[in-house]
Amino acid sequence: MQPTISIPQHWDYPRFALDQRTKEGIILGFHYYPNGTELAEQFGHGWRYALMPKKNSDELFHFEENQIKPLSPQELFLQITAEIELYQQQIATLQQQLVVITGGANNG
C-alpha cells in the first residue's frame, strides 16, 4: 500500500514530489505556507522544499518552489545510469569478497 498525503483543497498542489531529483538536489521534504498566515506574510505563501544536494550529503537546503529546476529526461537518465553503474561495481566487489571468504566454493 502506498502512503497517502492529503492536501487541503484550498492549497495549491505541490509541483515536485518527495525523492524527486532536481538540479538543486534530491527532495527530502516540503511544507506549505498558506495565505493569511504570519509565515506567508513574512516569506510569501506557497510550497517550500528541503533538498539534499548530493546523495549521502550531510547538508540540507531549503528552496521556494520557483527556485527549483527539474532535470531534463536526459539529465535524469545520466544520473540514474551513473548510480546503477556505481552500485554494480559495489556488488562486484562484494561478490569477490564472498569468493575469497568461501574459498571459491559455490554456495548457491
Q: Is pLDDT above 60 for 76?
A: yes
User: 0.75 exceeded by the pTM?
Assistant: yes
Average pLDDT over residues 51-79: 94
What does the alpha-carbon distance between residue 6 and residue 69 come to, in Å, rounded to a whole number? Answer: 25
Residue 96: what are its φ and ψ, rounded to 5°?
-65, -40
Per-residue pLDDT of 7-32, as tens digits, reads 998 888 999 999 999 999 999 999 99
Q: Which residue has the cell 551513473?
A: 82
Domain coordinates in residue numbering, the chain: 14-69, 72-108
φ and ψ of 61, to 5 deg: -120, 150
Compute, in degrees rounded to 10, the torsion defined by CA atoms 12, 18, 20, 26: 120
Round to whole Å and give the CA distance between 16 and 21.
9
- Residue 56's pLDDT band (cuts 50, 70, 90): confident
pLDDT at 37 over 60: yes
DSSP 75-87: HHHHHHHHHHHHH
